[in-house]
């Protein structure tokens, strides 16, 4: 298995999850589920390394279950309380051998090397299995065979880890709809998320040419101008930039 194969498998996982959880074609939903999945997944760019990390925020479950239509709003709310109690990370780590074979590290070894790091640099280790609710344990047991069927040996070695959602002061470690950041560490490998996630916030518009851009961005990457919300009126700053004030002549 190569890095290219890993990328292909992850792309397939995104497509399949999108098909399984997406709404019917006639329905319109604000959040692009496939984009949300892509934004919450990362993989190692190192040659011969198969590290893959998927942060699964409660918003993923809410969007996918609402789109699927299999549960009532009340059932989705109860489900969200179960998964929302944890900062969920799915991860796998392995290496590609000289003959193309893949070797994956065990769950205890992966648990020992994975940690969550908040924006202030504070680290969190996975919550012990015996302290996780039975409902949450049942959910991960259901998901494991699905990953195996979709991704073969790679999916069979994906492990689920639960971290606390709040720091010692009670503040939320990561809000996917608000500005912030966090890291997931696999040993020395760092997987960094900058928030908010573009799929969960309103798109913005470049005042220079009206192009609709990622709502997580503050400035247009091409013009350097501050982006504005869709439908917002042109700012005085923009008007002034378009029509600079007349300069008085300089007298010698």
SS3 labels along the chain: CCHHHHHHHHHHHHHHHHHHHCCCCCCCCCCCHHHHHHHHEEECCCCCECCEEEEECHHHHHHHHHHHCCCCHHHHHHHHHHHCCCEEEEEECEEECCCCCEEECCHHHHHHHEEEECCCCCEECCCCHHHCCHHHHHHHHHHHHHHHHHHCHHHHCCEEEEECCECCCCCECCCCCCCEEEEEEECCEEEEEEECCHHHCCCEECCCCCCEECCCCCECCCCCCECEECCCCCCHHHHHHHCCCCCCCCCC
Q: What is the largest CA-CA distance in the chain?
A: 85
- For the segment 70-126, what is each residue's pLDDT rounded down to a tens digit? 778 898 899 899 999 999 999 999 988 888 788 999 999 999 999 999 999 999 999
- For the segment 148-170, what is each residue's pLDDT rounded down to a tens digit? 888 788 889 999 999 999 999 99
Q: Binning pLDDT at 50, 70 and 90, where does residue 245 land?
A: very low
Least confident window among 3-12, 56-65, 130-139 = 3-12
Least confident window among 65-79, 81-95, 184-198, 217-231 = 217-231
Q: Binning pLDDT at 50, 70 and 90, where does residue 4 land?
A: low
Is residue 116 within 8 A of residue 124, CB to CB? The reply is yes
Is residue 37 within 8 A of residue 197, CB to CB? The reply is no
> pTM score, two decimals?
0.76
User: What is the predicted pLDDT for the residue at 99?
Assistant: 82
Average pLDDT over residues 121-146: 93
Closest CA to 91 of 133, 32, 49, 122: 49
User: What is the predicted pLDDT for the residue at 148?
Assistant: 87
CA dist 48 and 149 (Å) reads: 23
CA dist 119 and 174 (Å) reads: 9
CA dist 29 and 51 (Å) reads: 32
Average pLDDT, the chain: 81
- In angstroms and rounded to an integer, the radius of gyration of the C-alpha atoms of the chain is 22
User: What is the predicted pLDDT for the residue at 241?
Assistant: 44
pLDDT at 24 over 50: no
Least confident window among 24-28, 188-192, 209-213 = 24-28
Residues in the chain: 252
User: What is the predicted pLDDT for the residue at 88?
Assistant: 97
pLDDT at 240 over 70: no
Q: Binning pLDDT at 50, 70 and 90, where does residue 231 land?
A: low
Is residue 144 within 8 A of residue 163, CB to CB? The reply is no
Please give the share of the chain, as a percent, with pLDDT higher than 70: 79
CA dist 36 and 38 (Å) reads: 5
């Amino acid at each position: 298995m190569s890095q290219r194969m890993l990328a292909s498998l992850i792309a397939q996982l995104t497509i399949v999850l999108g098909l399984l959880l997406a709404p019917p074609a006639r329905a319109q939903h604000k959040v692009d589920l496939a984009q949300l999945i892509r934004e919450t997944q990362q993989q190692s760019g190192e040659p011969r390394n198969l590290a893959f990390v998927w942060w699964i925020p409660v918003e993923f479950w809410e969007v996918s279950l609402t789109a699927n239509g299999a549960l009532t709003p009340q059932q989705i709310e109860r489900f969200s309380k179960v998964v929302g109690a944890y900062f969920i990370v799915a991860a796998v780590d392995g290496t590609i051998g000289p003959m193309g074979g893949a070797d994956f590290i065990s769950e205890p070894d992966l648990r020992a090397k994975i940690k969550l790091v908040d924006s202030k640099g504070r680290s969190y280790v996975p919550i012990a299995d015996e302290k996780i609710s039975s409902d949450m344990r049942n959910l991960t047991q259901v998901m494991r065979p699905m990953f195996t069927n979709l991704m073969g040996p790679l999916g069979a070695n994906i492990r689920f880890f639960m971290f606390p959602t709040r720091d010692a002061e009670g503040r939320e470690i990561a809000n996917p709809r608000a500005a912030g950041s966090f890291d997931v560490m696999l040993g020395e490998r760092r997987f960094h998320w900058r928030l908010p996630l573009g799929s969960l916030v309103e798109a913005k518009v470049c005042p220079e040419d009206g192009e609709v851009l990622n709502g997580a961005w503050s400035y247009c990457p091409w013009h350097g101008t501050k982006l504005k919300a869709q439908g917002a009126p042109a700012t005085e700053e923009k008007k002034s930039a378009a029509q600079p004030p007349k300069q008085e002549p300089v007298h010698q």
